[in-house]
């Protein structure tokens, strides 16, 4: 397996130029920012609402942009050309994830500034959000690889935006519908749990189980991404 920063940077640079000219994809970052503005007008924003916006940013900006960018590469046959180049799976996927990663970080920071979210322990929250971003990048990549066109990708991603963006709303239904118990283990819910515990003044020792579940999600989806990519490398 090769790892060339030059190749990763080349793919990143290309994607940055391409995404900034692709208004259909790049305009999605407006969605969580508008939500942040609306909630900031209401008054005091609760942790629940801060994370409704952050989770929406993760599912819409991270997963959607990644999914759309990969799906477009497939649709226009440019992914095949990349696969036939000396760039390895790691280089291609890292290079292709950087733009979504940076746009996500910028969006979340902007949203946090708008809603006035200032976590008690920034390092724990930063780690939890970065692990979450990795999970959503992998999820977006898988869905992008499975889509044939950008239009198809933008439909496939909708359940993801609903489940992970607004999934915390489903928590209210868990008592009534035990079948929804799995929702408690979703990465978006784990992120909210971590945020609550951080605000209670708890440290790494108290949030490790939630962080562990988040890491597990990220690892499983990354392995799945590599598997799907390898399958798609061959017709």
Partner 1 sequence: MEKIIEVKNLAKVFGNQTALENVNFNVKKGETFGFLGPSGSGKTTTIKILTAQLQQTSGEAEVFGVPSTSLTNGSYRRRIGVLSDNSGLYQRLSVEENLKLYCDLYDVPKKRMDEVLDLVNLSGETKKVVSKLSKGMLQRVLLARTLLHEPELLFLDEPTSALDPANSKQIHEGLRRLNEKGTTIFLTTHDMSEAETLCDRVAFLNKGKIQLLGEPKALRRQYADGSITIELKDGNIINLPGGTEGADEVYQYMSSNQIVSIHSNEPTLGDIFVDITGRELV
Site for partner 1 contains 78 (CB under 8 A):
yes
CB of 161 within 8 A of CB of 56? yes
CB of 92 within 8 A of CB of 14? no
Among 26, 47, 80, 202, which residue interacts with partner 1 (rule: CB under 8 A)?
A: 80
Q: Minimal distance in Å, beta carbon 150 to partner 1?
A: 12
d(CA 222, CA 234): 19
Site for partner 1 contains 11 (CB under 8 A):
yes
CB of 142 within 8 A of CB of 221? yes
Q: Residue ranges of the alpha helices (H) in the chain?
A: 5-21, 23-26, 30-42, 47-56, 65-75, 78-83, 89-115, 122-146, 150-160, 167-170, 187-199, 204-233
Site for partner 1 contains 27 (CB under 8 A):
no
Stretch that binds partner 1, among 72-80, 136-144, 186-194, 220-228 (CB under 8 A): 72-80
- DSSP-derived 3-state class of residue 76: coil
Stretch that binds partner 1, among 71-79, 148-156, 158-166, 170-178 (CB under 8 A): 71-79
d(CA 8, CA 168): 35
164 to 72, 87, 183, 203, 226: CA distances (angstroms): 23, 32, 9, 25, 22
CB atoms within 10 A of CB 132: 26
What is the largest distance, in Å, between two alpha-carbon atoms of the chain?
Answer: 54
Q: Minimal distance in Å, beta carbon 12 to partner 1?
A: 10
Site for partner 1 contains 197 (CB under 8 A):
no
Site for partner 1 contains 7 (CB under 8 A):
yes
Q: Minimal distance in Å, beta carbon 60 to partner 1?
A: 22
Q: Minimal distance in Å, beta carbon 169 to partner 1?
A: 37
Site for partner 1 contains 85 (CB under 8 A):
yes
DSSP classification of residue 87: -
Nearer to partner 1, 80 or 197 (CB): 80
Site for partner 1 contains 149 (CB under 8 A):
no
Site for partner 1 contains 2 (CB under 8 A):
yes
Site for partner 1 contains 234 (CB under 8 A):
yes
Binding mask 86-125 for partner 1 (x = CB under 8 A): xxx-------------------------------------
d(CA 206, CA 208): 6
Site for partner 1 contains 226 (CB under 8 A):
no
In the complex, the residues that contact partner 1 under the rule CB under 8 A are 2, 6-7, 9-11, 13-14, 17-18, 21-22, 76-78, 80-88, 233-235
């Amino acid at each position: 397996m090769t790892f060339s920063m030059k190749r990763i940077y080349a793919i990143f640079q290309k994607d940055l130029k391409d995404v900034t000219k692709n208004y259909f994809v790049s305009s999605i970052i407006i969605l969580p920012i508008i939500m942040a503005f609306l909630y900031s007008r209401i008054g005091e924003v609760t942790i629940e609402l801060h994370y409704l916006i952050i989770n929406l940013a993760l599912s819409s900006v991270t997963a959607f942009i990644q999914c759309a960018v990969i799906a477009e590469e497939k649709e226009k046959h440019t992914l095949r050309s990349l696969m036939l180049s000396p760039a390895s799976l790691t280089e291609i996927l890292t290079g292709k994830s950087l733009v979504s990663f940076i746009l996500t970080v910028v969006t979340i920071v902007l949203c946090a500034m708008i809603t006035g979210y200032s976590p008690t322990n920034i390092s724990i929250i930063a780690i939890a959000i970065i692990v979450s971003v990795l999970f959503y990048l992998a999820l977006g990549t898988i869905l992008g690889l499975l889509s044939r066109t950008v239009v198809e990708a933008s439909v496939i991603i909708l359940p993801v935006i609903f489940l992970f963006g607004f999934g915390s709303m489903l928590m209210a239904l868990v008592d009534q519908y035990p079948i929804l118990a799995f929702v408690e283990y979703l990465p978006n819910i784990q992120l909210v749990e971590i945020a609550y515990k951080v605000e209670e003044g708890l440290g790494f020792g108290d949030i490790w189980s939630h962080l562990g579940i988040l890491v597990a999600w990220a690892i499983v989806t990354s392995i799945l991404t590599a598997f799907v990519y390898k399958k798609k490398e061959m017709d």
